[in-house]
């Protein structure tokens, strides 16, 4: 028996699968979020220097991770779409962009909420803040370009090229900004050395980042379903679904 690797590369077969996956990951996201927030707000100890205000990191750090990671995933789908000319890849890339922009905005917003008590200022022109801000602009550019093009195939390809150019640029932007000015504290979590925070804090943060992962998957799949329906509205299966849903 041979496996059909391309079974789910057509919107018709992927649509129901995406629905089931979105439901599952959505439920997981709710559970992980509840567990993560409980750990973060009730179990994790108060920080010796920063008091309670540090607890924003349970939102801030996972959001910042997701914002960067989602851009890479978006570029991955975009590249796949350009290389193999698959319809679904472009839909996935445009479904990821708003979630990525949302997390970028959350990271910036919570960061400035934390910056006020910790640094005494809402905003500093520091390497990470600035490159996160530019990442937000990159997401906006991607979405604006896709919104300006009426033909969905051209929108997919043009967005794909922009995402790929952007992903090459992100490290360059990061290092140039870092070199320009830096004040942000060093990374608290890294794979190469032991974390400098309490185990419960780390656990809360990791659970929260899983929650954000699950949320992203669920939200992206739901959005992809809407895009699929919109683009394939003239096909039989979409008409059938619309009749069934009505």
Partner 1 sequence: MVAALRCVIVRDLRLAARRSSDVMTVVLFFVIVVSLFPLGIGAEPKLLRTVAPGVLWVAALLASMLALGRMFAADHADGTLEQMMLGATPLGLVVAARVFAHWLVSGLPLVLISPVLALQFDLSQELLGVVVLSLALGTPVLSLIGAIGAALTLGLRGAGTLLSLLVLPLYVPVLIIGAGAAEAAASGLGGHAQLLLLGAMLIFAGAFAPWAAAVALRISVE
The residues binding partner 1 (CB under 8 A) are 82, 134, 137-138, 140-141, 144-145, 148-149, 154, 157-158, 161-162, 164-166, 168-169, 172-173, 176-177, 179-180
Closest CB to partner 1 among residues 41, 175: 175
Closest CB to partner 1 among residues 127, 211: 127
Closest distance of CB 226 from partner 1, Å: 24
Closest CB to partner 1 among residues 169, 188: 169
Closest distance of CB 233 from partner 1, Å: 23
C-beta of residue 100 within 8 angstroms of C-beta of residue 53: no
Closest CB to partner 1 among residues 70, 177: 177
How many angstroms separate the CA atoms of 124 and 22, rounded? 38
Closest CB to partner 1 among residues 8, 123: 123
C-beta of residue 157 within 8 angstroms of C-beta of residue 83: no
| Residue closest to 209 by CA, chosen among 117, 135, 101, 201 | 201
Closest distance of CB 147 from partner 1, Å: 9
86-to-82, 89, 149 alpha-carbon distances in Å? 8, 6, 19
Closest distance of CB 169 from partner 1, Å: 5
Closest CB to partner 1 among residues 157, 231: 157
Q: How many residues does the chain have?
A: 246
Closest CB to partner 1 among residues 94, 209: 94
How many angstroms separate the CA atoms of 93 and 167, rounded? 13
Closest distance of CB 79 from partner 1, Å: 12
Number of C-beta neighbours around residue 27 at 10 A: 12
Closest distance of CB 224 from partner 1, Å: 22
Closest distance of CB 63 from partner 1, Å: 20
In whole angstroms, how large is the CA radius of gyration of the chain? 20
DSSP assignment letter at 2: -
DSSP structure string for 3-65: --TTGGGSHHHHHHHHHHHHHHHHHHHHHHHHHHHHIIIIISPPBTTTBGGGGGHHHHHHHHH
How many angstroms separate the CA atoms of 137 and 196, rounded? 32
């Amino acid at each position: 028996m041979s496996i059909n690797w391309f079974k789910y590369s057509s919107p018709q077969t992927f649509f129901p699968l995406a629905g089931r996956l979105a439901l599952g990951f959505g439920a997981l996201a709710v559970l992980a979020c509840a567990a993560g927030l409980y750990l973060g707000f009730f179990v994790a100890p108060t920080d010796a220097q920063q008091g309670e205000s540090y607890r924003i990191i349970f939102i801030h750090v996972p959001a910042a991770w997701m914002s960067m990671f989602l851009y890479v995933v978006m570029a991955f789908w975009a590249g796949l779409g350009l290389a193999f000319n698959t319809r679904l890849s472009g839909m996935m890339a445009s479904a990821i962009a708003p979630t990525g922009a949302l997390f970028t905005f959350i990271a910036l917003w919570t960061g400035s909420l934390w910056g006020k008590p910790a640094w005494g200022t809402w905003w500093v022109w520091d390497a990470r803040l600035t490159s996160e801000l530019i990442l937000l602009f990159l997401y906006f550019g991607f979405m604006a370009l896709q919104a300006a093009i009426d033909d969905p195939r051209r929108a997919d390809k043009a967005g794909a090229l922009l995402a790929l150019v952007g992903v090459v640029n992100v490290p360059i932007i990061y290092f140039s900004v870092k070199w320009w000015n830096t004040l942000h504290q060093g990374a608290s979590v890294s794979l190469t050395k032991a974390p400098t925070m309490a185990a419960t804090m780390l656990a809360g943060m990791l659970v929260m980042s899983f929650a954000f992962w699950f949320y992203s998957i669920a939200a992206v799949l739901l959005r992809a379903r809407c895009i699929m329906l919109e683009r394939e509205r003239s096909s039989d299966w979409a008409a059938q679904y619309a009749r069934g849903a009505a």
